[in-house]
Every structure is written in C-alpha cells, then in structure tokens.
Structure 1
Amino acid sequence: MSKVCVLGAGSWGSALAMVLDDNGHDVMMWSRRNEQCEEINLNHTNNKYLPNIDLNKSIYATNNIEEAVRESEIIVLAIPSQQVRNISIELSKIVKKEQILVNVAKGIENGSGKRLSVVCKEELPENKYCMLSGPSHAEEVSKNVPTAVVASSEDINISQTVQDFFMNPSFRVYTNTDLIGVELGGATKNIIAFGAGVLDGLGYGDNSKAALMTRGLTEISRFGVAMGAELSTFSGLSGIGDLIVTCTSVHSRNRKAGLLIGQGYSLENMQKEVNMVVEGITATKAVHKMAQNLDIEMPITEYIYKVIEEGLEPEKAVVELMTRSKKHEMEPIFKL
C-alpha cells in the first residue's frame, strides 16, 4: 500500500480517489472547504460534484494541504487549470523532490499560453511530472464503467509508475512519451466540444456535429504539430478519443456550456447554470491568441472565440464558417 493524495475534491478528483482506493492505496483528498471534507468523511458522499455516488469509506479528506501531501508517493493535481500555478507555489514549500506530480487538469494557462507541465516545472523544477488524460468522465469512472486513458511523461519510467498506480480491470492505462501532444489534445478538444454543444443548442443534427469534430481534429492536429507534438498522438486516446466523448456525452460540461449558448443563454447565465469550471472558454482565448501569433489557420476556434468574446450570434457564426472560401480537404497540417 502506498500513500497518495488527490488535491481537489471535484467530480474528477473524487472519481480518481476511488480508483486509487480500489487499487489498495491509502488515499487522502484535499479541499479548501471544511464542510466538503466533513461530508466526505462523515457521509462518504460528494453530492455537489458526484450526486448519487457513495465514496469508498476508507477515503479521508482534509483541508490541510500539508497533511494531505506529507509522505504521499504521488500527488494528483485534480484542480482547474487556472489554479495549477498557485497550488504549485503552495506545494513548493512542502513537497519532497521524489514525489511525483500527476496532473489531470486539461487546459492552458491563460495569459502566458503555457502548457501545465511548463507551469509545474517552473514552480516545482525538481519533481517528476506526468499527465493523465483521455476519454474519461468522472460519472462513469466512479461506477467502474470500463475506461481507457493515457499516462504521459517525458520519462517513460514515470509514465509506467503512474500506470501501475491507476490501472485496474475497469480503468486501463496506456503510456505515451509525447507529453506536448497529450497535453494539447486534452486542452484543445474542450474548444471543439463547446462548439458541438452550440450546434446541439441550435437544433442541428449528426451531420453538423460530425463535420465539426472532423475538421476540429484537423485544427487540433495543426496546432499541436506547430507546438512540437507528434501527429500520431492525435489519433490516440488523448486526441480523437477525448474529442469524441467530450463532444457527444451528456456528462460533458464544455458541451453543456455550448448547448446553453446555442439555446440563447448569455455567457454569464450559462456559467451560473453549469456551476463548474468550463475549461473550453479559457482554452479558446489562449489558443486563439497563440494561433494568431503562430499564423496557424484555425477557423472553428476563431469563430468560437467570436461567439464567446465578441458576442457573435451562434447561427451567424455557422453561416460564416460554411461559406468560407473553397478548400481542398487534405491540406497540409501546417503551412510550409
């Protein structure tokens, strides 16, 4: 039995805590909110984030981050992407260099445009880092629905260590050393999922969503390759796999956010209704800016940005996308 801690007690953090506990590890969760810790410890539930799910009784929660991290072999960062730097700064005062960071947040730091591995490396340069990503909704993982994900680190030994911690008969873990690709696939698919929700909100059908997902994957690949990723990664679990599940599932908060926008909700009212962090909104802002700087053509991302930031009507955005200049489908991934 190894001690592990999960920082963040949202839906995904709770589900992964259950996976780790099922695998025989001593799991401690951390939340800033004492009332949430008490609910987990006394009732063994986390109803705001995982309704109708009973958490394993051996999982313990604390609002003391030092207590959670102490003696843990791995530290799971199950927090929103925009909190990663601040939490990493807190950790820098208490972690030991041999503790492994396992990030499960899918996003890009707003403002800097940095991948989350870069953020962690800046604040915790001595700690090994791994990204856990793939098509994996917490609601299903918490019920032991068969799921496959990928553990990615620049050090294959770290990927394999994380694989051993998490893998079980209902949670299959692959390894991949293309950390850039795995991170960017997880972050950028949220943009396309938001767009898929908009289409659903407008009442469009399967044809529209299939087109969006296919051309969205082209944009994700184009952006990833320009950032140094391997093209093949985007045909894997953290690429097309995560794209499919996030664009089509009722569990997807990014799709739900887009759905509400397509139905006429304002951005403010949508965020109140979703009541959780919508990573696709932050990712859209960051990727749009980076694509402009890199001179990368990403029309879907551009129009989603216009809907979010400039108030463009979703239906008009679809018309403008559909009436762009004629293209050959198999254009190069990026301009030569």
Structure 2
Amino acid sequence: MPSDDMTRPRPPARARPYGTVAVLGSGAWGTALASVARRAGAEVRLWGRNPDVAADINDNARNEAFLPGIPLPAGIRATTDLAAALDGAEAVLIVIPSHSVRAICADIARLIGKGVPVALCAKGIEEATGYLMGQVALDELPDHPVGVISGPTFADETALGHLTAATVAFEFSYHDRLSPFESPAARMAVTMSTEHFRTYISDDLVGVEVGGAVKNVIAIACGMMTGAGFAKNTRAALITRGMDEMKQLAEALGGRRETVTGLSGAGDLTLTCSSESSRNMSLGVQLGAGTPREECFGGKPVVVEGELNAISVTDLARRVQVSMPICEAVRAVLHEGADLNDTFARLWSRPIESEPRAMGLLLDHPAARGPQTPLPETT
C-alpha cells in the first residue's frame, strides 16, 4: 500500500525568476511582453530600431505607433542600442518577424553571456532550410538554451492586462529532468507570470512551434471562406481539420500530437481564426471578398506571417510526406495564381476519409465527378 506521503499532493516548488530581461522587438507584441515582464518584477530593456518609438516609451510610457492609447508600466527602458539592451541580461526574448530571426541571433551571439536562455516569440518556418525558429536560433546560438513563448494572445489585450495564458516551451536536458524547477522553462515561466498573464510549461518545443507556424496559414483559409460569404460551419470545419494537419506535421517532426491540443495549438488556432484583429484572418477576409492583394490593408505594406508560411509550411510538409490540403489550398491561391472558388471547391470534394484515421477508409467523393458548386454570393 502506498504511504500517505506518496499519495498526498506535493506543494508547488519555487522557481527563481530571471531578474533582467532583454526584449528584442519594440512592435506591438514585443512591447506587450515587455509590459508583462515588467509587471512581474523584472528589470526590462526593450530594443527596437525606431528611435521615435524608444523615445515615446521612455518619455511617456506609451508606444503610440504600435499600441495606441495603452499605458505601459513605468520602468521599461527602451533603446536602439542592441549591446546596451543585452548588457547584463539574464534572459532574452526575441519578438521580431520570423524571416529576421537568424540575423538577430547571429548579431546577439557575441553580446550575451554563455548559457543565457533565449525565448523566441516569432512563429514560422525558415523557407531556405525548412527549420522551425528554434532550430534556426540553435544554429546561431549553440551555447544557449532556446525555447518559445506561444499561445492565444493578442498584443493589445495582453498589454491592457486582460486575462491571458501562454505556453513556455524549452527542451529539457538530463539536468532539467532532475531539477525541473531550475530549468530555463520553469524560470522563464515564473518570470513571465502575473495575476493577469498565466504560463504553462512544456518540453515539446517542436510541437509548440508547429502549432504557431501552421495556425497562421489556417487562419488565412478561414478568412478567405468568411470573406467569400461562407458561415460558421465552414470555419469550424477548417479549424478542426486544420488542427489535424498540425498534429500530423508535429508528429512527423518528432513533436507530440497532444501538444497541438493545448494553448499553442488549438488555443492559438481558435483565436487567430475567429477575429479580424488577426492580420492573417483579415488578409483572408479581404482576399475572399475579392480585394486584390496589393490593395489589402488599404495598400499598406503589412507583413502577414501566414502569407510567408504558406510556402515554408507546405514545402516542409512535402519534404516529410505529410498531407496538408488546407495549407496547400492557401498556397495555391496566394502564390500560384489559383482561383479561390475552384481551389476550395476541390478541397471540399476530396476523397472522403475516415475520422479517426486509423479506420483507413478512403472513398470517392460524388461531388468530384460532377460540376463544382460555385461559392455563394457575398452579401
């Protein structure tokens, strides 16, 4: 019989937060995460390239360029000097577009102490290599623990202090298994935890990153269908089957399917696919309504991660022989000149599959034999 000591729940262990945090990227999400770390008690240096943004943060505790109307906690020190931002940093958050991650990691390699953990808050896959952002960072920072912070988060809501949850994922070394409360994941989690921002810990870096990369592409698909006049049934189907595509890719790359059902997968996917506050969803809505790509967002050059990831995600999926038909449809419309109507009609008339997949059924779809039904008129 087990003793009472074996069955009684153990009290939570204490982990030491990092005292000084450098946040690289003074856009909306970088500023929001800097606010979280500052509210949690860390000394925060926020680096960005725009001196006007840095001055606004330092002088007014505001970032009107990216988070208009939102007051920031006092004490965030903004700078355009990368070395100054990193001087003495015990942890680093990288919050920039995914295509710039390799360059910034190479820049900081000589500026941070050995063993300083780096958490990526950029979601994507490097087009040239097929690497997730974690592997990109490890290439340039081999002597540093590399992890990610990911979850269903909009920057403005986070900065305003709305209740928010996210996953902190780092791979666990043997030492981390023996003393998990001293692991970079645990220490980063408590560093970023406040009464409004709740963190969860994962050791499945791959699974968390796949969710973050793929959800942007699925959000564009949901937006396209919404903009074209389809209703909530369609969106629910795309979200659910999109999550299945996430699971397959995560598993093929060594991640766990169950990770995709958590905050960084299902949570982030649901949020991104349900609001036009997401640039990915918004781009899809505009394209689905017939707006030419160059006229989307009022003609402004807005970076949409899912637009870039539509190529890198599908290239990677093809490489590891994973079928991702929704992501392929988005790629075809965005980058290969495919007609949105025809592309999604073909998506819906693919062979009928079993759910669960283990049943192994595959049936010819009757709609594939006849004329395809056009998309409904947008009202």
The TM-score normalised by the length of structure 1 is: 0.95
Percent identity between the two aligned chains: 34
2:111 aligned residue (94, 100, 106): 94
1:195 aligned residue (221, 239, 243): 221
**Cα offset, 1:187, TM superposition:** 0.8
CA contact under 8 A between 2:28 and 2:155: conserved in structure 1? yes
Q: Deviations over 1:208-253 (max 9, x none)?
A: 0001001111111111111111111011111111110110023211
Q: Compare 8-17 and 251-260 and name the one that shifted more.
A: 251-260
1:229 aligned residue (255, 259, 262): 255
2:6 aligns with: none
Q: Compare 10-19 and 287-296 and name the one that shifted more.
A: 287-296
**Cα offset, 1:274, TM superposition:** 6.4
Q: What SS does the aligned partner of 1:54 have?
A: coil
**Cα offset, 1:3, TM superposition:** 1.6
Question: Measured at CA, do residues 273 and 159 of structure 1 come closer, stay the same or move farther in structure 2, by a change above 3 Å?
Answer: farther
Counterpart CA distance in 2 for 1:197 and 1:273 is 18
* 1:131 equivalent in alignment to 2:157: no
* 1:282 equivalent in alignment to 2:308: yes
2:132 aligns with: 115
Counterpart CA distance in 2 for 1:263 and 1:51 is 28
Counterpart CA distance in 2 for 1:29 and 1:132 is 17
Give the length in aligned residue pairs: 335
* 1:252 equivalent in alignment to 2:278: yes
Matching of residues 20-35 of structure 1 within 5 Å: 20-35=37-52
Counterpart CA distance in 2 for 1:55 and 1:274 is 27
Paired AA for residue 341 in structure 2: E
Q: Compare 252-261 and 49-58 and name the one that shifted more.
A: 49-58
Question: Measured at CA, do residues 110 and 98 of structure 1 come closer, stay the same or move farther in structure 2, by a change above 3 Å?
Answer: same
Paired AA for residue 272 in structure 2: T
**Cα offset, 1:136, TM superposition:** 1.0
Matching of residues 148-159 of structure 1 within 5 Å: 148-155=165-172, 156=180, 157-159=183-185
Matching of residues 1-336 of structure 1 within 5 Å: 2-155=19-172, 156=180, 157-270=183-296, 273=299, 275-332=301-358
**Cα offset, 1:333, TM superposition:** 11
Consecutive unaligned residues in structure 1, runs of 5 or more: none
Q: What SS does the aligned partner of 1:142 have?
A: helix
Consecutive unaligned residues in structure 2, runs of 5 or more: 1-17, 173-179, 361-379
Q: What SS does the aligned partner of 1:131 have?
A: strand
Structure number with greater Rg is 2
Question: Measured at CA, do residues 147 and 113 of structure 1 come closer, stay the same or move farther in structure 2, by a change above 3 Å?
Answer: same
Paired AA for residue 247 in structure 1: C
Q: Compare 96-105 and 312-321 and name the one that shifted more.
A: 312-321
